[in-house]
C-alpha cells in the first residue's frame, strides 16, 4: 500500500498542478478583463498595477482549487483505467475501493488547506484589495463612492467640501439612486440637495466629475433673512466637481471590513452582535407597542419603560400628563411611527446576520467540496476509461457548473431568508455526496468498469453490481 500510495500521489500531483494553474489563469484573465478599464489611463505606477493583480489572485484560487481537485481525480483514474493498471492491481488483490483511501486522504488535506486559506489568506487579501481600489478611486470618484455611507468629497485643492450619500450605486452604469448632497462650504447657507436618481460622468482627462441629478428638490436657508428658507424643485440639475483626486493617496486599513473580508471568528462575532441588537430592538418594539396601547386606553404609563423608549424627561412628563384625547392620539402616532422605524432596522439586521452566516457556510462548503469530489470522481472515471480528456473536461465542467449554480442559488435564498444558510449552502454538497456514495457502492469490485459507454455506461453507475455467486447461479440456470 505504501508503494501504491506514492504512485497514486504522483498520478494526481501533475494533473492537479496543471489544472490549478490553467483554471486560475482563465478565471484571473476573465476577472482582469472586466477591471482593466478602471486601471488604464490613470497614470498608475507599475507597482500599483502589480499589487492589484497579486491581491486579485487569492479570490481566484479559492474557486480554482476545488475544481482542480475534481479534474485531477478524473484524469488520474481515467488514465489508470485506460492503461489497464486498475485491472492489474485487481489481479494482484487490490480492489478499486482500496485505491480511494490515499485519494480521499489527499482530499482531506486539500480541504484543510482550503479551510485555512478561506479563514486567513482570502479575507486579508480581499480587504487589502478593497483598500487599494478605494485608493485608486481617489483618482476616479466612481470607485470611491460607497452605498449607504456618508462620502466626503473635496473637489479642487480641498477648500470645498461636500457630503454625498446614495442608497444604491451602480459602478458599471455610473448611476445613483436616492441621492443626498449636503453643501458644507457655507455653514450659514445650509444647502441640501435631494434627488431620486442621478448619473456620473467624467471629462476626457478624468479630472472633473459631473453629477446629473433628476427629479429632486433643493432645501436652502436664506442668509439675509432670519428664519428664511426656500425650496426649489427641479427635473434635472448638473453639479460639477472639479479637480477630483489627481494624486493617489494610500490609506491602507482605513475602511471597514465587509463580510468577504472577515475570517470565521470575526464573522461569528459580528453575527452574534447583530443578533443581540436584533433581540434588543424586538424587546424595545414590544415595549413601544405596549406603551402605545396604554396611552390609547388612558392607562397608567410605566416610567421606566417610557424612559427607555422616549428619552428626555420633559417628553416623558408630557407623555404621562397628556390629558386631551388629541394629545394622546398624537403621542400614540409618534410611538407607532418609531416602532415602524425599529421594525425596519430589525429587517436590516436580519439581512446582515444572514449575510454573515452565508459567508461562513459558503467558505466551509467550498472546503468540504474537495472531499466530495474525491468520492464522485473515481467511479465516474473508471466507468468511461477510454473517454480520455473529453470526459475530464466535460464531466468536471458539468459537475462544477451545477455545483456553482446551486451555491449561488443557495446564497440568494439564504440572503432573502427563504431558508437557513446551514441548509441552502450545504444542500449541493449533500446531494453530490449522496450521488458519490451511491456510485461507489455500485462500483465493480473487480475494476471491470472498462466496458460500456454512453447512456448505458451512465445507467450502470447506479446498478447493483452482480456478484460472482449470482453469476454462477445464472450460468447453472
Q: Which residues contact 250 (CB under 8 A, 6 or more apart)?
A: 135
Residue 252 counted as domain residue: no
CB 374 within 8 A of CB 73: yes
Q: Find the domain containing 345 and state its range.
A: 263-355
Domain shared by 372 and 449, yes or no: yes
Residue 254 counted as domain residue: no
Last residue of a domain, one of 324, 355, 386: 355
- The DSSP symbol for 386 reads T
Q: What angle do CA 154, 160, 161 make, to 5 degrees?
A: 60
Domain shared by 436 and 409, yes or no: yes
pLDDT at 287 over 60: yes
Closest by CA position to 399, among listed 425, 421, 368, 377: 377
- In the block, cell 447453472 appears at 476
Domain shared by 34 and 126, yes or no: yes
Instruction: Say how many domains are in the chain.
Output: 3
Q: What is the pLDDT of residues 112-145, one digit of tens each?
A: 999 999 999 999 888 888 888 777 766 555 556 7
Residue 45 counted as domain residue: yes
325-383 vs 100-116: helix axis angle to the nearest 10? 150
What distance in Å separates the CA atoms of residue 69 and residue 361, rounded to the nearest whole number? 20
Q: Which residues contact 322 (CB under 8 A, 6 or more apart)?
A: 295, 328, 331
Q: What angle do CA 379, 3, 393 make, to 5 degrees?
A: 35
Domain shared by 347 and 270, yes or no: yes
Domain shared by 36 and 58, yes or no: yes
Domain shared by 298 and 175, yes or no: no
Domain shared by 16 and 81, yes or no: yes
What distance in Å separates the CA atoms of residue 205 and residue 269, rounded to the nearest whole number? 45
Q: Identify which has the larger pLDDT, 316 or 305.
A: 305
- Joined grid coordinates for residue 363: 467558505
Domain shared by 87 and 187, yes or no: no
pLDDT at 387 over 90: no
- Strand order across the 229-241 sheet: 151-153, 162-170, 175-183, 191-202, 209-221, 229-241
* Beta strand 209-221 pairing with 151-153: unpaired
Residue 166 counted as domain residue: yes
Domain shared by 128 and 12, yes or no: yes
Q: What is the pLDDT of residues 311-363, one digit of tens each?
A: 443 344 444 545 455 555 666 666 667 777 777 788 888 888 888 899 999 99
β-pair partners for 193:
181, 218
Last residue of a domain, one of 355, 381, 413: 355
Provide the 10 A C-beta neighbour count for residue 116.
13
pLDDT at 155: 78
pLDDT at 231 over 70: yes
pLDDT at 84: 81
Domain shared by 409 and 349, yes or no: no
Last residue of a domain, one of 303, 322, 355: 355
Domain shared by 217 and 272, yes or no: no
* Beta strand 229-241 pairing with 162-170: unpaired
CA distances from 322 to 292, 293, 329 (A): 13, 14, 10
Residue 256 counted as domain residue: no
Residue 31 counted as domain residue: yes
Residue 142 counted as domain residue: no
Domain shared by 293 and 346, yes or no: yes
Amino acid at each position: 500500500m505504501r508503494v501504491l500510495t506514492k504512485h497514486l500521489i504522483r498520478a494526481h500531483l501533475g494533473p492537479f498542478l496543471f489544472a490549478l494553474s490553467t483554471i486560475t489563469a482563465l478565471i484571473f484573465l476573465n476577472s482582469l478583463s472586466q477591471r482593466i478599464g478602471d486601471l488604464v489611463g490613470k497614470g498608475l505606477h507599475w507597482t500599483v498595477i502589480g499589487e492589484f493583480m497579486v491581491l486579485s489572485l487569492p479570490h481566484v484560487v479559492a474557486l480554482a482549487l476545488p475544481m482542480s481537485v475534481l479534474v485531477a481525480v478524473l484524469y488520474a483514474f481515467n488514465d489508470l483505467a485506460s492503461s489497464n493498471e486498475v485491472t492489474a492491481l485487481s489481479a494482484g488483490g487490490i480492489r478499486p475501493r482500496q485505491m480511494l483511501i490515499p485519494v480521499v486522504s489527499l482530499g482531506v488535506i486539500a480541504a484543510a488547506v482550503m479551510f485555512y486559506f478561506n479563514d486567513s489568506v482570502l479575507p486579508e487579501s480581499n480587504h487589502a484589495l478593497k483598500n487599494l481600489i478605494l485608493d485608486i478611486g481617489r483618482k476616479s470618484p466612481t470607485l470611491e463612492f460607497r452605498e449607504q455611507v456618508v462620502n466626503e468629497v473635496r473637489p479642487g485643492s480641498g477648500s470645498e467640501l461636500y457630503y454625498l450619500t446614495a442608497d444604491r450605486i451602480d459602478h458599471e452604469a455610473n448611476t445613483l439612486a436616492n441621492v443626498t448632497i449636503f453643501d458644507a462650504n457655507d455653514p450659514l447657507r445650509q444647502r441640501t440637495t435631494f434627488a431620486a436618481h442621478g448619473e456620473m460622468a467624467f471629462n476626457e482627462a478624468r479630472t472633473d466629475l459631473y453629477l446629473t441629478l433628476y427629479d429632486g428638490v433643493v432645501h436652502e436657508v436664506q442668509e439675509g433673512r432670519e428664519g428664511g428658507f426656500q425650496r426649489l424643485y427641479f427635473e434635472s440639475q448638473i453639479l460639477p466637481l472639479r479637480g477630483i483626486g489627481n494624486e493617489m493617496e494610500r490609506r491602507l486599513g482605513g475602511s471597514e471590513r465587509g463580510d468577504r473580508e472577515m475570517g470565521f471568528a470575526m464573522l461569528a462575532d459580528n453575527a452574534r452582535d447583530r443578533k443581540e441588537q436584533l433581540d434588543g430592538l424586538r424587546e424595545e418594539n414590544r415595549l413601544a407597542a405596549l406603551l402605545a396601547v396604554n396611552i390609547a386606553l388612558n392607562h397608567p404609563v410605566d416610567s421606566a419603560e417610557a424612559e427607555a423608549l422616549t428619552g428626555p424627561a420633559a417628553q416623558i412628563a408630557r407623555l404621562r400628563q397628556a390629558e386631551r384625547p388629541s394629545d394622546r392620539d398624537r403621542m400614540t402616532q409618534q410611538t407607532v411611527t418609531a416602532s415602524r422605524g425599529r421594525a425596519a432596522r430589525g429587517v436590516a439586521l436580519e439581512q446582515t446576520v444572514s449575510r454573515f452566516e452565508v459567508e461562513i457556510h459558503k467558505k466551509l462548503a467550498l472546503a468540504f467540496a474537495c472531499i466530495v469530489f474525491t468520492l464522485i470522481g473515481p467511479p465516474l472515471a473508471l466507468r468511461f476509461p477510454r473517454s480520455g480528456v473529453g470526459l475530464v473536461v466535460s464531466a468536471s465542467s458539468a459537475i462544477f457548473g451545477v455545483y456553482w449554480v446551486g451555491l449561488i442559488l443557495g446564497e440568494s435564498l439564504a440572503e432573502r431568508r427563504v431558508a437557513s444558510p446551514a441548509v441552502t449552502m450545504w444542500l449541493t454538497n449533500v446531494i453530490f455526496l449522496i450521488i458519490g456514495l451511491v456510485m461507489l457502492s455500485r462500483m465493480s469490485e473487480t475494476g471491470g468498469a472498462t466496458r460500456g459507454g454512453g447512456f448505458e455506461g451512465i445507467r450502470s453507475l447506479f446498478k447493483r453490481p452482480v456478484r460472482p455467486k449470482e453469476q454462477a447461479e445464472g450460468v447453472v440456470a
